[in-house]
């Protein structure tokens, strides 16, 4: 015989009203009026799906660009220290920085946020960061999903995923088809560890995390505007987003039969500290962490000076790190 239990969804750990309140807050907030591509959004946050007006007469062969990513175990550190202010930017950056490697421009973004217990104040901090990063990337936040999953996530633990859609003219895509022998490889500075390697980093700095947590939670840099200016002002051939795997991401944009000869660059102090504590070789570090470079541009040598001017003008540092062979 079954024991009769009187309960409802809220008493089981899922607060639908809190979820609805979060959606209402995001849809009504003043900053939503600043959202890029607002004139194209037919219906956005709050519906079952979002409608986006697709008309690109300036392109001969418009192609949609799609990508998805997450923030990895960096979320564990953010939850532990209750510092979610930059995680939304991390999420947007991990997606749009991939998207621009096609030569495309981001159009819209959706997020997925799952937690053990939905706390409105924490969720608002996360979503405010997502929203601002979308604005900074000329990308419309058109929807998402918030999942409260007691028993799957413990208390304040959470995870997130992002989904970006962009547009590119097929005739103007970047990548292996453009890369030539003799092209130069320019490294563009990262803002820190970005969103990769945190399963390792949380162990490396476990004993003195209070001293390192702010540096570890520095948000991932957004490269959308930089990529646009490089396309406008140089004969850009390829971009590579340096994430998990480090410099091993560069061969992904090279044509068959080509490789690149790497030139050393000065690593930021935080990466040297990781190497000191782990005793990893240079080779291992370079295929584990970004070592100070978050994006790589490949272009002809004649455009090096123009590229350096663009990169500096966008507030980033540059490093000549190799040549295509």
% pLDDT > 90, the chain:
78
Phi/psi at 279 (nearest 5 deg)?
60, 25
Q: What is the CATH number of the domain that holds 311?
A: 3.90.650.10
Judgement on whether residues 164 and 214 belong to the same structural domain of the protein:
no
Q: How confident is the model at residue 10 (pLDDT cuts 50, 70, 90)?
A: low
Judgement on whether residues 157 and 218 belong to the same structural domain of the protein:
no
Judgement on whether residues 147 and 255 belong to the same structural domain of the protein:
no
Give residue 77's pLDDT: 97
Decide if 294 is inside a domain.
Answer: yes
Q: Which of 172, 203, 222 is the last residue of a domain?
A: 172
Instruction: State pLDDT tens for residues 105-122.
Output: 999 999 999 999 888 889
Judgement on whether residues 26 and 158 belong to the same structural domain of the protein:
yes
Residue 16 pLDDT > 90:
no
Residue 302 pLDDT > 90:
yes
Judgement on whether residues 197 and 153 belong to the same structural domain of the protein:
no
Residue 135 pLDDT > 60:
yes
Q: How confident is the model at residue 29 (pLDDT cuts 50, 70, 90)?
A: low
Decide if 80 is inside a domain.
Answer: yes
Q: 46: which 2 tokens? A: 């709050």
% pLDDT > 70, the chain:
93
Q: What is the CATH number of the domain that holds 101?
A: 3.30.1330.10
Choose among 101, 110, 12, 28: nearest CA to 69: 110
Name which residue leads in pLDDT, 280 or 45: 280
Give residue 126's pLDDT: 96
Give residue 37's pLDDT: 79
Kindly compute the dihedral angle of the four CA atoms of residues 169, 174, 175, 176, in this order, to the nearest 10 degrees: 80
Judgement on whether residues 58 and 118 belong to the same structural domain of the protein:
yes
Highest mean pLDDT among 28-37, 47-56, 272-281: 272-281
Q: Among all chains, which residue has been given the structure tokens 């706390």? A: 119
Q: Identify the DSSP state of 86.
A: T
Judgement on whether residues 264 and 155 belong to the same structural domain of the protein:
no
Separation between Cα atoms, residue 218 and residue 89, nearest integer Å: 10
Give residue 35's pLDDT: 76
Residue 316 pLDDT > 90:
yes
Residue 201 pLDDT > 80:
yes
Judgement on whether residues 35 and 125 belong to the same structural domain of the protein:
yes
Instruction: Report the predicted TM-score, pTM, of the whole model to 2 decimal places.
Output: 0.92
Give the domain range for residue 101: 10-172
Q: How confident is the model at residue 9 (pLDDT cuts 50, 70, 90)?
A: low
Judgement on whether residues 189 and 224 belong to the same structural domain of the protein:
yes
Give residue 33's pLDDT: 66
Residues 2-25, mean pLDDT to the nearest whole number: 64
Decide if 193 is inside a domain.
Answer: yes
Decide if 4 is inside a domain.
Answer: no
Q: Is 183 left (phi over 0), alpha (psi -120 to 50) or beta?
A: beta
Q: Which of 114, 144, 172 is the last residue of a domain?
A: 172
Residue 8 pLDDT > 90:
no
Q: Which of 172, 202, 221 is the last residue of a domain?
A: 172
Decide if 160 is inside a domain.
Answer: yes
Q: How confident is the model at residue 48 (pLDDT cuts 50, 70, 90)?
A: confident
Judgement on whether residues 127 and 189 belong to the same structural domain of the protein:
no
Decide if 315 is inside a domain.
Answer: yes
Residue 253 pLDDT > 70:
yes
Give residue 24's pLDDT: 75
Residue 11 pLDDT > 70:
no
Residues 110-135, mean pLDDT to the nearest whole number: 93
Separation between Cα atoms, residue 102 and residue 180, nearest integer Å: 17
Judgement on whether residues 147 and 236 belong to the same structural domain of the protein:
no
Instruction: State pLDDT tens for residues 275-288.
Output: 999 999 999 999 99
Decide if 1 is inside a domain.
Answer: no
Q: 90: which 2 tokens? A: 């991390």
Give residue 32's pLDDT: 59
DSSP, collapsed to helix, strand or coil, labels residue 234 as coil
Mean of the per-residue pLDDT values of the chain: 92
Judgement on whether residues 134 and 188 belong to the same structural domain of the protein:
no
Give residue 49's pLDDT: 86
Q: What is the number of structural domains in the chain?
A: 2
């Amino acid at each position: 015989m079954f024991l009769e239990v009187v309960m409802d969804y809220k008493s089981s750990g899922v607060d639908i009203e809190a979820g609805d309140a979060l959606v209402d807050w995001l849809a009504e907030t003043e900053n939503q009026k600043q959202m890029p591509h607002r004139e194209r959004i037919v219906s956005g946050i709050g519906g079952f799906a979002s409608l986006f007006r697709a008309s690109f007469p300036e392109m001969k062969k418009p192609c949609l660009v799609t990508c998805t990513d997450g923030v990895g175990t960096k979320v564990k550190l953010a939850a532990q220290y209750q510092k979610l202010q930059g995680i939304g930017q991390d999420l947007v950056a991990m997606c749009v920085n991939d998207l621009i490697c096609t030569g495309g421009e981001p159009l819209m973004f959706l997020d997925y946020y799952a937690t053990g217990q939905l706390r409105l104040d924490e969720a608002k901090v996360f979503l405010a960061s997502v929203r601002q990063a979308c604005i900074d990337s000329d990308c419309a936040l058109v929807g998402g999903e918030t999942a409260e999953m007691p028993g799957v996530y413990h208390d304040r633990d959470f995870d997130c995923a992002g989904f970006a859609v962009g547009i590119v003219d097929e005739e103007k895509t970047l990548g292996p088809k453009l890369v030539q022998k003799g092209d130069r490889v320019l490294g563009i500075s990262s803002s820190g560890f970005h969103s990769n390697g945190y399963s390792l980093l949380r162990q490396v700095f476990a004993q003195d995390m209070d001293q390192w947590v702010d540096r570890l939670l520095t948000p991932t840099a957004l490269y959308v505007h930089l990529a646009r200016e490089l396309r406008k002002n140089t004969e850009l051939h390829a971009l590579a987003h340096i994430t998990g795997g480090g410099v091993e991401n560069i061969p992904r944009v090279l044509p068959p039969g080509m490789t690149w000869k790497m030139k050393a660059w000065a690593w930021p102090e935080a990466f040297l500290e990781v190497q000191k504590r782990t005793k990893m070789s240079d080779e291992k570090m370079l295929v584990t962490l970004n070592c100070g470079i978050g994006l790589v541009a490949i272009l002809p040598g004649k455009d090096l000076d123009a590229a350096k001017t663009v990169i500096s003008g966008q507030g980033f540092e540059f490093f000549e790190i190799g040549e295509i062979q």
